[in-house]
Structure formats: structure tokens, C-alpha cells
């Protein structure tokens, strides 16, 4: 039996992971599940998978979770420290699917076990890529990318020498507003930005798809995880979301990875790795699909992509600042405090204010990443106050 733990079990990635594990309960020993405020779902998952431990991120949810699990024998805990401790319980496979920078610490802790970390939390690589990879190396752990694009790249690279890679192309659906004229984007509301054309995901990543901040994060993740140069990585708009990524080699070959827009594919690949198991996703019918479309991503329309290239060049703490500013901008947009296009303006302003803090020749430590995150949120908050006053 494989011992598995899922961080962020109640989210979109978490629910899909639970779905796959629940199909073969005899194969897995579920060590711990973590969630947030959706206590009812967390309790239901913990009972269904006979988990050893259920942890909510919020102290205030401890009572309701304990009540929901009373008499089941499932251990209950709450708070960030309890989530960190859950990462110390021996597990062979850990899913990192908390949303936001909060996912970094549990992932880093899990790596210390020297086993497999299935990484959906993209903020980990964006904020602290070099730290994550060096921790994995030190402890002999394996990181498997779960973002669909990075799983696609990883699969295209099986048996290949990374030195023969010329370029990596990741695709973007273009998000909810891809057909809006650029000059109308500033009017986009929360509900406009929350409807993804192809993927069914959490609210935050869906809005990040509309600004292309999601793709910007994925460019940075690609740079960090695969170690290729920024000029070798590009994003292209592909409205069908059926090709997830392409890898171009020195001989001109371009390997594309296709699959339905269903995250259970990338999760299932990581779950069965290094083998291929049966994964219950739809099979593509190419004659029915008939055509696939591509167009260049317009950097004027999507400033997030330009900012991503700046971050990839700067490295150091640029990713931590970029991500924290992006999270603060997203919170302000969701709260109705700033407009859609102001999100990118805010991230750019924060990067520019903190440009002197970003460059560092020292190896990244968790403390300096967390300090940069904190400073960027503070700086972003003061920019937001200015933007709100000017509206």
C-alpha cells in the first residue's frame, strides 16, 4: 500500500486527486488530508478515504471539524503549524495543492522525507524554485510537476537529454476575456473574469487565466523546473486547450503533448509515475476535433507575460515579489477595490519599487523568501491604496 498525503484536498486539484485515489482504495493508505473552511467536504473525504488525520488551516474550524469526525477515530488538527506537522508524517507520495504562497512550507517539509512530491502549487517554484530543487536534491526526493503544461513537458522529455532542447512552448487558452477588444478589458468585472472557457478550476487560478498571470507563473515555473533559459520559453494562445505544451529539439523535431482539459490526467501521471496507469479521462477523437488553432500572445494585451520575462531574467527574489504582488492584486480585484487591468499595473509598480531588494547573489533561504513576500504585500498594499484613491 502506498502512503499518500494530500495538501489542499478540498480544492479543485485536491478533489480530482481524491477522485483518483477513491477509485482504488485498496492501493492507498491515506495518511493526512488538509483543507480550509470547507469542513464538511474535508470530513466527508477523510471518512471516505479512511484518512489517519484531517487538518484545517483555520483554528476557528477545529470545533466543527472535530464534531464532524467525532467517533470515526480520525485525528483532527488545525492551523498552519498543524499543516506543517502533517508533512512530517511518513508518506510515499504527497500532493501539494494548497493555493498561494501558503503551499510553499508544507511542500518543503514533505521533501525532507526523500519521497515523491507531486507539485500542483505553482507558487512554490515561482517564489522559491532554486530552494525547492536544492532541498529535493539534498534529501533524495523527486518532484513531479502536476500543472498540465509542466506534466506535458516532463512527459515529452522522458528519455531525452535536456541539452538537446532548443525551445519549450506552453499553451494558454487565453482565458475568459480572450475575445474582448483590448480597450474594453478595464471594464471586466469579477464575474466576467471567473468563467473559464475550457477548464473547471478554483476561482483564483481562473481569474489568473484571464489576466494571463497564470501563464506568466507557468513560464517562470518552466524556467525554474527544467533549467532552460528564458529566451527558450514562450507561451502561445491555443483556444482549444488540447495541446498543453511542446518541446522543440536541436534536430527540429517538435514533440506535442495532447490530452483533454482534465487535471486528472496530470495528477494520474504523477500518481502512477514512473509507470502509466489507467486514468479515467475522455479520449480525444481527432476527426471530431478536426482543427487546432494557435495565435501569438499579444504582450500589450497581456502585460503579465512581459513581467514574467523580467522575473525570469532577474531571478533572485523577483519571483517572490511578483507572486506576492499578484496575490495582493487578485485579493483587491476580488474585493472590488481595483479594476481588472489595474492588477498588472500593481504588480509592475511593486516590482519596480522593490527592484533594489530583488537581486541577490546568495542562495535563497526560506526566511528571505518569506521576508520578500511580506515586503511585497506591504508595498502592494500601499500602491493599492493609491490606486483606490485615484479611481
Interface residues toward ligand NAD, by CB under 6 A: 8-14, 35-36, 57, 83, 97-100, 102-103, 120-123, 147, 199, 201-202, 204-205, 263
- Rank residues 43 and 349 by Cβ distance to ligand NAD and give the closer one: 43
The binder of 379, among Mg ion, ligand NAD, none, by C-beta within 5 to 8 A per type, is: none
Residue 117 interacts, among ligand NAD, Mg ion, none and using kind-specific CB cut-offs from 5 to 8 Å, with: none
Task: For residue 357, state whether it binds Mg ion (rule: CB under 5 A).
Answer: no
| 75 versus 166: smaller Cβ distance to ligand NAD | 75
In the complex, the smallest distance separating the C-beta of residue 220 from ligand NAD, rounded to whole angstroms, is 12
Q: Which is nearer to Mg ion, 47 or 258 (CB)?
A: 258
Which one, of 10, 57, 4, lies nearest residue 31 by Cα? 4
Each residue 117-156 as x (binds Mg ion by CB under 5 A) or -, in order, gives: ------------------------------xxx-------
CB of 184 to ligand NAD, least distance (A): 27
User: How many CA atoms lie within 13 Å of 227's alpha carbon, on the beta-carbon side?
Assistant: 9
Q: Cβ of residue 206: shortest distance to Mg ion, in angstroms?
A: 12
Residue 242 touches which of Mg ion, ligand NAD, none (Cβ within 5-8 Å per kind): none
Judged by CB, which is closer to ligand NAD: 91, or 146? Answer: 146
H/E stretch holding 4 reads: strand 2-7
Q: Which is nearer to ligand NAD, 100 or 316 (CB)?
A: 100
Q: Which is nearer to ligand NAD, 80 or 130 (CB)?
A: 80
Residue 379: how many CB atoms within 10 A of its CB? 22
Q: What minimum distance in Å lies between the beta carbon of 288 and ligand NAD? A: 24
Residues 6 or more apart whose CB falls under 8 angstroms from that of 166 comprise: 232, 248, 249, 250
Q: Any long-range contacts for 115-118 (C-beta under 8 Å, 24+ apart)?
A: 115/91, 115/141, 115/142, 116/92, 116/141, 116/142, 116/143, 116/144, 116/270, 116/273, 117/141, 117/142, 117/143, 117/144, 118/17, 118/93, 118/94, 118/144, 118/146, 118/267, 118/270, 118/271
Taking the complex as a whole, the smallest distance from the CB of residue 89 to ligand NAD amounts, in Å, to 16
Q: What are phi and psi of 347, to 5 degrees?
A: -65, -40
Q: Which CB sits closer to Mg ion, 263 or 372?
A: 263
- Angstrom distance (rounded) from CA 6 to CA 165: 33
User: Grid coordinates standing for 127?
Assistant: 517564489
Minimum distance from residue 294 beta carbon to ligand NAD (Å): 21
Min. distance of Cβ 15 from Mg ion in angstroms? 17
3-state DSSP: the chain helix, strand, coil percent, rounded to 5?
50, 15, 35
Point out the residue whose Cβ comes nearest to ligand NAD. 11
Torsional sign, CA 211, 217, 222, 223: positive
94, containing H or E segment: strand 93-96
Binding residues (CB under 5 A) for Mg ion: these are: 147-149
Amino acid at each position: 500500500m502506498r502512503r499518500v498525503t494530500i495538501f489542499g484536498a478540498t480544492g479543485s486539484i485536491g478533489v480530482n486527486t481524491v477522485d483518483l485515489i477513491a477509485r482504488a482504495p485498496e492501493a492507498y493508505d491515506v495518511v493526512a488530508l488538509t483543507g480550509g473552511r470547507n469542513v464538511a467536504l474535508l470530513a466527508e473525504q477523510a471518512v471516505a478515504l479512511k484518512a489517519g488525520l484531517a487538518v484545517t488551516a483555520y483554528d476557528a474550524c477545529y470545533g466543527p471539524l472535530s464534531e464532524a469526525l467525532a467517533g470515526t477515530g480520525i485525528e483532527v488538527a488545525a492551523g498552519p503549524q498543524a499543516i506543517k506537522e502533517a508533512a512530517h508524517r511518513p508518506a510515499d507520495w504527497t500532493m501539494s495543492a494548497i493555493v498561494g504562497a501558503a503551499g510553499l512550507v508544507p511542500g518543503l517539509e514533505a521533501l525532507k522525507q526523500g519521497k515523491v512530491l507531486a507539485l500542483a502549487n505553482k507558487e512554490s517554484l515561482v517564489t522559491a524554485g532554486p530552494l525547492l530543487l536544492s532541498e529535493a536534491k539534498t534529501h533524495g526526493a523527486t518532484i513531479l510537476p502536476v500543472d498540465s503544461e509542466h506534466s506535458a513537458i516532463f512527459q515529452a522529455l522522458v528519455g531525452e537529454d535536456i541539452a538537446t532542447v532548443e525551445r519549450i512552448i506552453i499553451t494558454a487558452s487565453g482565458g475568459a476575456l480572450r475575445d474582448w477588444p483590448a480597450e474594453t478589458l478595464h471594464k471586466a468585472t469579477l464575474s466576467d473574469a471567473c468563467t473559464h472557457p475550457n477548464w473547471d478550476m478554483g476561482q483564483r487560478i481562473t481569474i489568473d487565466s484571464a489576466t494571463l498571470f497564470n501563464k506568466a507563473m507557468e513560464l517562470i515555473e518552466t524556467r525554474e523546473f527544467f533549467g532552460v533559459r528564458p529566451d527558450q520559453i514562450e507561451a502561445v494562445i491555443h483556444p482549444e486547450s488540447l495541446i498543453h505544451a511542446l518541446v522543440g529539439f536541436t534536430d527540429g523535431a517538435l514533440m506535442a503533448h495532447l490530452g483533454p482539459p482534465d487535471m486528472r490526467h496530470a495528477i494520474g501521471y504523477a500518481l502512477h509515475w514512473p509507470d502509466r496507469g489507467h486514468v479515467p479521462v475522455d479520449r480525444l477523437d481527432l476527426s471530431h476535433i478536426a482543427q487546432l488553432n494557435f495565435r501569438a500572445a499579444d504582450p500589450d494585451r497581456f502585460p503579465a507575460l512581459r513581467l514574467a520575462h523580467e522575473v525570469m531574467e532577474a531571478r533572485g527574489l523577483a519571483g517572490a515579489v511578483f507572486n506576492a504582488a499578484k496575490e495582493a492584486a487578485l485579493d483587491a480585484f476580488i474585493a472590488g477595490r481595483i479594476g481588472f487591468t489595474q492588477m498588472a499595473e500593481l504588480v509592475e509598480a511593486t516590482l519596480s519599487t522593490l527592484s533594489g531588494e530583488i537581486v541577490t547573489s546568495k542562495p535563497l533561504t526560506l526566511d528571505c523568501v518569506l521576508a520578500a513576500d511580506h515586503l511585497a504585500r506591504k508595498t502592494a498594499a500601499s500602491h493599492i491604496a493609491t490606486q483606490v484613491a485615484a479611481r
